[in-house]
Chain A
Amino acid sequence: MNTFLTLLIAVAVCVPLGWVFRAGMQSVTSNAQKWRDMPLSVAWGYVLGAGILAWLAYTYYLAVTAERTPVDTYFFFRNAVHGFVIFAVAAWAFRLLGRHVGTEGTKKLFRSMPVTASFGILVILLYAIVSIFAGAIAPFGQEEVLANANVVPGGNPAVGGDPAYPLGTDQIGRDILSRLIYGAQNTVGIAFVTTLLAFFIGGSLGFLAATLQGTLDQVISRGVDVLMAIPALIFALLLMTIATVWANELGVNRTYFMVVIIAVIDSTRVFRLARAVGLNIVVMDYIEAAKLRGEGLGYLIFKEILPNATAPLLAEFGLRFCFVFLTIASLSFLGVGIQPPLADWGTMVKDLAQFINFAAFAPQVASAPLLAAGAIALLTVAVNFVVDWMLHKSSGLKE
């Protein structure tokens, strides 16, 4: 309650400070228009923002100078600030690089790019590299059980770390860094394949429905309506119950079932978009011309409709990938997704989650589950930043 009261008072104090700030700026700039017309609420916002920045800077100063033993209270704050600054500088440098290196087209692209989008592209590239070369980067195998279990992250022998395992090992002695790196391959790879499958099913059915219309269109559309009336995660959980039994019965890895189930559930959303986009295209004159030429259905769909529908489908692909990726992570987190011992971030969060409760005594210990969850969040945030920028660019929204 005290914390809440202090916060409230601090926010209230910013109001007179804002008034003073505005009056000061008015007299300094001899009543320039910007300051003369500024409402008190905006001045308050500036002071509040400055106050928050000052508080962050002060806490960071404390975090850097504070003694780190025995319990490092500022561990998370310091690392969060470092991570934020490193990524911001890297994204900015990446954009600068893109503006001066490459073809005329890419240079132009980078010039119109906000920092958030260049951050997104940088992160996506990083993930792609890590997931492709996981085998070469990871120091240990993903299923390799090492001699030392429960090594604390940080590599400091004084508090139970080991320089050989920079992020420590889990309860049965698997290297967490290696599992994180292999997780990029498994989690991202499986999500990517699932999204491709969903687009293949939903896209071809959607274009087919748009081109042929009639009974087929009605049947598929009503079927999709029914499937969409059940929340996606709930439906996935229901089908995974059955798939797990089948997987045991047939001796197949249940991950294959999961890929198909999520692809089918997500293809309903793709179908909706592909059909809507397709319906707009089939009424065009060039489709009529192609039909009169006597072109077949395959030619119509792949040579006439698909090239004209790539832009909206590409943006949708980014968003769908995020949804699929998050659904798979959630299923794995709930314990019915990707089957162990494959390293996967959702399962890692579930297995390591209990360490969060030790954060008050040894903050390093709690970083392992957060790293796995953060790896998921970082990729989805990056993809969303890029898609946001693409949509903004293509819609031409200025305000």
Chain B
Amino acid sequence: MGSILRIIAQRLALGLLTLLIVSIVIFVSVNALPGDFAQAILGQGATPEAVEAFREDLGLNRPFLERYFTWLWDAVRLDFGTAFSQAQFAEFAGGAAGTGLGTVAEMLGPRFSNTMFLAGVTAVIAVPLSLMIGVLAALFRNSIFDRAANITTLTSISSPEFFLAYVLILLLAVMNPLLPSLSVINNDMSFSEALKVTLLPALTLTLVVTAHMMRMTRAAIINLLASPYIEMARLKGVSPMRVIVKHALPNALAPIINVIALNLAYLITGVVVIEVVFVYPGIGQLFVDAVKNRDIPVVQACCLIFAAAYILLNLTADIMSIISNPRLRHPK
């Protein structure tokens, strides 16, 4: 038990270190703007005095390292500063510092939970579905079913997300009005209402991630079917379904869990495009808007959150595969 905890602690420390370096990369690339933020935001027509005042306001005239550590320290305390697009508004409303209005954290909060909800609904649909299809494809390998599943998943894995999204909108929202094509979510919605609104984006994401998980499940199981103990089970007269579910699946669990975690990490990227298509009020949409408006504090914060989630899920995949494999759990 002690060794597992040590391994987890080691990986966590490594993840934190990666996140720290990623934060440096993000900060450095944002600081590669020509001139600086102030010039970029105010435009070329701004008077030197205005630019100077803006720089003073944002603390841009302090040295680079000091700015980085201030930003990092604030980010650790979940204070991502004030969004440029909201800066004016917040001042009119009585000062950004007092009310917390217009701060990036304020904008991110509800959107973060929305995105998590979307990813959660997708995972709940996609993981059992892909496991089931993967096991069935392994059971009936080289049959018509296997080939059809193979071609369908290969097609959905290689189509762009927005193509799948628009096809689903066309079929399920416009031609047969079953689900809403725009995802309007607010706080007073009941769970079932929110679920209905989230279903279409979740289905699209399911199509995207199921393919990969299903193919890996099938490959992992088929890899094991040549092993002697499977042969033994077959000779014993165990039914094909039981061979796969009882004997092959538990041993194939490590790669499967790994792939599931990696695909959940992939969801984070996929979510950006899907949220834009469905106008879903999540982080992805906020990020794209911020990129277009060059709202630097929001871009930085979103990037950091995406990277943190990505690293965390990859870390989980790593730890899970170590825990499920005794040979890695007790290294020589």
**B265 (CB) vs chain A CBs: closest residue:** A231
Can you name the residue of chain A whose Cβ is closest to the Cβ of B164? Answer: A377
Cβ–Cβ < 8 Å partners of B167 in chain A: 370
Smallest CB–CB gap between A366 and chain B, Å? Answer: 6
With A245-B33, A356-B169, A388-B154 as known contacts, state yes or no: A234 contacts B160, CB within 8 Å: no
Do the beta carbons of A241 and B299 come within 8 Å of each other?
yes
Given contacts A229-B310, A230-B22, A356-B170, contact A373 B160 (CB under 8 A): yes
Given A240-B291, A336-B292, A399-B141: A377 touches B159 (CB 8 Å cut-off): yes
In contact, B163 and A399 (Cβ under 8 angstroms): no
Please name the residue on chain B nearest to A41 by beta carbon: B241
Query: How far, in angstroms, from A238 to B176 measured CA to CA in the complex?
Result: 38
CA distance A234 to B275 in the complex (A): 14
Could you tell me the distance in whole angstroms from the C-beta of A335 to the nearest C-beta in chain B?
6
Residues of chain B in range 280-332 having any CB-CB distance to chain A below 8 Å: 287-288, 290-292, 294, 296, 299, 302-303, 306-307, 310-311, 314
Determine which residue in A225, A233, A244, A374 has the highest number of CB atoms from chain B within 10 A of its CB, and name it.
A233
Q: CB-CB < 8 A to A322: which residues of B?
A: 158
Contacts of B10 in A (CB 8 A): none
Chain B residues, CB < 8 A from A225: 18
Q: Is A273 an interface residue (CB 8 A)?
A: no
Q: Which B residues are in CB contact (< 8 Å) with A388?
A: 154
Q: Which of B54-62, B99-107, B266-274 contacts A (4 or more CB under 8 A)?
A: B266-274
Which interface class (under 10, 10 to 19, 20 to 34, 35 or more) fits A? 35 or more
Stretch of B23-31, B68-76, B78-86, B123-131 contacting A (4+ beta carbons < 8 Å): B23-31
Q: How far is the CB of A267 from chain B (nearest CB, A)?
A: 16
- The distance in angstroms between the C-alpha atoms of A356 and B182, with both chains bound, is 12
Residues of B within 8 Å of A360, CB to CB, are 174-175, 177
Knowing A246-B34, A349-B162, say if A384 contacts B154 (CB, 8 Å): yes
Whether A229 pairs with B311 at a CB distance below 8 angstroms is yes
Q: Are B166 and A353 in contact (CB under 8 A)?
A: yes
Chain B residue contacts of A246, Cβ below 8 A = 33-34
Query: Judging by beta carbons under 8 Å apart, are B163 and A234 in contact?
Result: no
A178 to B25, CA, bound (A): 42
What is the chain B residue whose CB lies nearest that of A388? Answer: B154
Answer whether residue A56 sits at the interface, using C-beta atoms and an 8 A cutoff. Answer: no
Q: Does A148 contact B (CB under 8 A)?
A: no
- Residues on A with C-beta less than 8 A from B151 are 116
Q: What CA separation (Å) do A356 and B171 show in the bound complex? A: 10
A3, A49, A234, A384: which contacts B269 (Cβ < 8 A)?
A234
Expressed in whole angstroms, the minimum distance between the Cβ of A273 and any Cβ of chain B is 17
Q: Which residue of A lies closest to B171 (CB)?
A: A76
* CB-CB under 8 A for A399 and B18, given A377-B159, A381-B154: no
**Complex CA distance for A158 and B303, rounded to whole angstroms:** 51
What chain A residues lie within 8 Å of B155 (beta carbons)? 377, 381
Known contacts: A229-B307, A359-B175, A370-B166. The answer to whether A334 contacts B288 by CB under 8 A is yes
Tell me, yes or no, whether A121 is within 8 Å of chain B by CB.
no
A279 on interface, CB distance cutoff 8 Å: no
Q: Are A377 and B292 in contact (CB under 8 A)?
A: no
Closest to B21 in A: A226
Chain B nearest CB: distance from A104 CB in Å?
29
Chain B contact residues, majority secondary structure: helix
B159 contacts which chain A residues (CB < 8 A)?
Answer: 376-377, 380-381
CB interface residues, B 120-146, toward A, < 8 Å = 140-142, 144-145
Residue in A closest to B310 when the chains form the complex, CB atoms: A231
Task: Looking at the assembled complex, report how far the CB atom of A240 sits from the nearest CB atom of chain B, in whole angstroms.
Answer: 7
B185 CB–A CB distance under 8 Å: no
| A42 proximal to B (CB < 8 A) | yes
Complex interface bits, A209-226 against B, C-beta within 8 A gives 1, otherwise 0: 000000000000000011
Q: Is the CB of A76 within 8 A of B154?
A: no
Chain A residues, Cβ within 8 Å of B21: 226, 229
Residue A329 at the chain B interface, CB threshold 8 Å: yes
Interface pair A234/B30, CB less than 8 Å apart: no
The answer to the question of A201 belonging to the interface, with a C-beta cut-off of 8 Å to chain B, is no
With the chains together, A340 CA to B304 CA distance in Å? 30
B30 cross-chain contacts in A, Cβ below 8 A:
238, 242
B157 at the interface (CB under 8 A from A): yes
| Inter-subunit contact A249/B34 (CB<8 Å) | yes
User: Are A238 and B299 neighbours in the complex by a CB distance under 8 Å?
Assistant: yes
Q: Tell me which residues across on chain B come within 8 A of A51, comparing CB atoms.
A: none
Q: Pick from B225, B268, B290: contact of A399, CB below 8 A.
A: B225
Find chain B residues with CB under 8 A from A181 CB.
none
Indicate whether A229 sits within 8 Å of B306 (C-beta atoms), given known contacts A239-B29, A245-B40, A369-B166. Answer: no
- Per-residue CB contact flags for chain A residues 46-80 toward chain B (1 = under 8 Å, else 0) read 00010000000000000000000000010010000
Contacts of A346 in B (CB 8 A): 160
Is B93 in contact with chain A by the CB < 8 A criterion?
no
Would you give the shortest CB distance from B245 to chain A, in whole angstroms? 13
Measured in the bound complex, the distance between the Cα atoms of B287 and A374 in whole Å is: 26
A389 to B294, CA, bound (A): 44
The answer to whether A231 and B145 touch (CB under 8 A), given A356-B166, A373-B162, A399-B225, is: no
Instruction: Return the chain A residue nearest B272 by Cβ.
Output: A233
CB pair A242–B32 under 8 Å, yes or no, is yes
B42 at the interface (CB under 8 A from A): no
Asked, given contacts A245-B34, A369-B166, whether A230 binds B294 with beta carbons under 8 Å apart, the answer is no
Q: Tell me the nearest residue of chain A to B151, going by C-beta.
A: A116
User: What residues of B have a CB within 8 angstroms of the CB of A49 in the complex?
Assistant: 144-145
Is A96 interfacial (CB-CB < 8 Å)?
no
Say yes or no: is A124 at the interface (Cβ < 8 Å to chain B).
Answer: no
Interface centre among A230, A234, A353, A374, by most chain B C-beta atoms within 10 angstroms, is A234
Kindly supply a per-residue 1/0 record for chain A positions 349-385, scoring 1 wherever the CB is within 8 Å of any chain B CB and 0 otherwise. Answer: 1000100110110010010011001101100110111
Q: List 12 A-B contacts (CB under 8 A).
A: A73-B175, A226-B18, A227-B25, A233-B273, A234-B268, A238-B30, A242-B30, A242-B33, A245-B40, A246-B33, A333-B162, A356-B170
Kindly list 15 other residue pairs between chains A and B, CB separation below 8 angstroms, not including A349-B166, A384-B154: A229-B21, A229-B310, A229-B311, A230-B22, A230-B26, A234-B287, A234-B306, A241-B296, A249-B34, A334-B273, A335-B288, A369-B166, A373-B163, A376-B159, A376-B163
